[in-house]
Amino acid sequence: MVPPSDDDGPADTVLPTGLRVALDRRARSMDDGAVLLGGAPPRMLTLAPAARVLLDDGGAFAVSGPTERALARRLLDVGIAHPVGGVAGPGAHEVTVVVPVKDRVDGLARLRAALPAEATVIVVDDGSSDPAAIRAAAGDARVLRHPVARGPAAARNAGLAAADTPLVVFLDSDVVPEPGWLAPLLAVFADPAVGLAAPRITALPPVTGWLGRYEAVHSSLDLGPDPALVVPRSRVAYVPSAALLVRRDAVGGGFDEEMHVAEDVDLVLRMHAAGWRLRYVPGSRVAHDHRTRVRAWWLRKRDYGTGAAPLALRHKGSVPPMVLSPTSAAVAVLLLLARPWSAVAALGVGAVAVGRLAPRLGVRRPRSTAARLVGLGAVGAVSQTADAVTRHYWPLSLAACLVSRRARRTVLAVAVVEGLADFRRHRDRDPHVRPRLLPHVVAHRLDDLAYGTGLWSGAWAHRTVAPLLPSGTGPRAVRQG
């Protein structure tokens, strides 16, 4: 069953008085504070004098009048700022917890023990072989049952349809919420335009083994320590359905039951297209029992890759393997050639781009601002290209290695350098886990091979190249009055 289209966006987008917002830590101030760079996807925001005054106090302010309300709405909607409290969100009594489960009795019992006794809980048994054991583990929760397994999307939808509260939180049976997890999620719903909020997914202790340590700092479910607006083609382009809080009015028919992988990404894309704001809230933490057996882990990573093809066909341009401007793509390719002449050519391409971009910016220091924009784009392009060589396009990299000695040296260098850089970026994500360099790099390379295998096999199964095609982008500039 395909759920109804989520055509209707929020009827109310007016921010409440007292809501505080603060600039994202990645936002960059340029041109003596007249320009902000950041957001999702990245853009340049030119500030009017009144907006600059509001942001002078450390980049945070409270909604108190029309000017503050308009600025806050704009900054939140482009992802340059995030809500940081000041106004109470809905109460816990307005939430129903929906738990889809199939045969995971121990996990369900563990989850029920972590939920407060007063929580309204609906457990959906999706064709478990021992329904009596599921009912016992569910405690006093309401239990719905599918006699035959219909998949997690259908199970979540059954719980969604049975809930009678304005908010529903989906929790998989292999997660355990940490104390205080719900309040930060509820807080962002003080904004009536927010339709979905997701916590940070961390590793359920104890963490053991080389693969367990890798997953603890590099799980596909863990989207990092920084809050974000969830937007396609950005740093946080999706959130996993292992733990989600949604506004019932915003999710339409819920998850697409025909999808058995990437149904959560599909829901995010539909809600975003309808105009709902979606937020990633790492201040809320939910622990997940990660797969750590190599075969099961690798197959799951491959399954994630197979979801790209149906998503690319349903949501054209929303899930590209790379997002590059023509200039950034040219610089990345030239640097990848690793020749003296190509490095000089890359500098030349960058200089031409700066010269063309500067007159279009309309700022007081156009050349220095343009240089920063081009430089940041080039850095991002190099990072994406290195990732694509070993992940999305590894079959092409392998084919090149079979026929070219230079290609073998280049791919090996990229695999090693990118692996070292990835270890450095992720090694401190979990303060309780200390991954080791070599096992981390090996796991990272296996992770990339699995996802890339799924990506190409999904493209073949759907007879489409859509998930393999990179997408172009260009500088985006807007003015905030």
Query: Which residues of the chain, if any, have pLDDT below 70?
Result: 1-7, 473-481
Q: What is the pLDDT of residues 230-244, one digit of tens each?
A: 999 899 999 999 999
Chain centre distance of CA 248: 21
Closest CA to 243 of 216, 225, 213, 223: 223
The owner of tokens 């060589």 is: 389
The token duo for 153 is 């999307």
Alpha helices in 14-85 (DSSP H): 49-55, 66-78
Helices 294-306, 209-218: axis angle to 10 degrees equals 30
pLDDT at 480: 44
* Amino acid at position 114, single letter: A
Q: CA 83, CA 381: separation in Å to the nearest integer?
A: 30
Question: What is residue 338's three-state secondary structure?
Answer: coil
What's the chain's average pLDDT? 92
Cβ contact 104:62 at 8 Å? no
Domain with residues 92-291, CATH architecture? Alpha-Beta Complex (3.90)
- Residue 365 gets which letter from DSSP? S
**pTM of the complete model beyond 0.85:** yes
Nearest-angstrom CA–CA distance, 154 and 311: 18
Residues in the chain, overall count: 481
| Pair type for strands 228-229 and 277-288 | antiparallel
pLDDT score recorded for residue 7 = 56
> Rounded to 10 degrees, what is the CA torsion of 424, 430, 435, 440?
-60
| Inter-axis angle of helices 405-426 and 366-390, nearest 10 | 110
Cβ pair 338, 404 in contact under 8 A: no
- Are the C-beta atoms of residues 40 and 238 closer than 8 Å to each other? no
Residues forming CATH 3.90.550.10 domain(s) in the chain: 92-291
pLDDT of residue 3: 57
Q: What confidence score (pLDDT) does residue 2 get?
A: 47
Q: What is the pLDDT of residue 364?
A: 80
Dihedral class, residue 222 (left if φ above 0, else alpha if ψ from -120 to 50, else beta) = beta
Question: Measured in whole angstroms, how far is the alpha carbon of residue 175 from the centre of its chain?
Answer: 18
Given a contact cutoff of 8 angstroms between Cβ atoms, the answer to whether 250 and 242 are in contact is no
Query: Can you read off the two tokens belonging to residue 172?
Result: 């998989």
* Dihedral of alpha carbons 187, 191, 196, 197, sign: negative
Please report, as a single letter, which amino acid is at residue 419: G
